[in-house]
């Protein structure tokens, strides 16, 4: 069954509101047989204390934490690595690059925008996601030249 963009948007809005502790009236798209329990991917620890999860699923959506490339290289190598890592994380959570709805791209330097786009182009199928791209003031943690996070729909069961 094909899910329309309006339903997906309502799921994102309802999921975001739930995370913020807000209530939405008529948030029925989340009750269309989807699992509304929160499922975390790998939990990242800081001094043995949970810091953040690599992914969370909720209401038919998967939220993937920002992925970076923490090795020497140029923007092309870093972007390819980050997109490969996103793909792995999406598949592990039960989704795919073709199901990505929203992407945030954080560049260490805006001059890398064109080269990042060359690698990014076509990675999300024929219906690419909504995207926001910014140059992060102060750089990206871990000396990555790019960090990308995303929200995607889960594969239909």
**Other residues' Cβ atoms within 10 Å of the Cβ of residue 107:** 24
| CA atoms of 155 and 110, how far apart (whole Å) | 34
Segments making up each domain of the chain, as ranges: 38-153
Q: Are 78 and 145 in contact (CB under 8 A)?
A: yes
> DSSP letters along 85-112, please?
HHHHHHHHHT--GGGEEEEEEEES-GGG
Over 60: is that where the pLDDT of 63 sits? yes
How much is the pLDDT for 156?
76
Q: How confident is the model at residue 66 (pLDDT cuts 50, 70, 90)?
A: very high
Higher pLDDT, 3 or 138: 138
Residue 83, both tokens: 């997109």
Buried b (16+ CB within 10 A) or exposed e, 132-147: ebeebeeebeeebbbb
CATH architecture group of domain 38-153: 2-Layer Sandwich (3.30)
Least confident range of 12-21, 60-69, 88-97: 12-21
Q: Output phi, psi for 132, to 5 deg.
A: -120, 135
Name the packing angle between helices 75-93 and 113-120 (round to 10°): 40
Q: How confident is the model at residue 85 (pLDDT cuts 50, 70, 90)?
A: very high
């Amino acid at each position: 069954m094909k899910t329309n963009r309006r339903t997906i948007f309502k799921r994102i809005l309802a999921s975001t509101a739930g995370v913020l502790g807000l209530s939405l009236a008529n948030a029925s798209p989340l009750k269309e047989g989807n699992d509304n329990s929160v499922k975390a991917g790998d939990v990242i620890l800081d001094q043995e204390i949970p810091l953040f999860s690599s992914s969370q699923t909720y209401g038919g959506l998967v939220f993937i934490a920002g992925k970076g490339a923490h090795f020497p290289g140029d923007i092309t190598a870093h972007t390819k690595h980050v997109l490969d890592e996103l793909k792995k994380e999406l598949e592990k959570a039960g989704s795919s690059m073709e199901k990505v709805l929203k992407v945030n791209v954080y560049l260490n330097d805006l001059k890398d925008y064109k080269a990042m786009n060359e690698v990014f182009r076509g990675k999300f199928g024929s219906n690419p996601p909504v995207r926001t791209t910014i140059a992060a003031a102060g750089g990206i943690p871990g000396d990555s030249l790019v960090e990308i996070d995303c929200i995607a729909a889960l594969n239909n069961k």
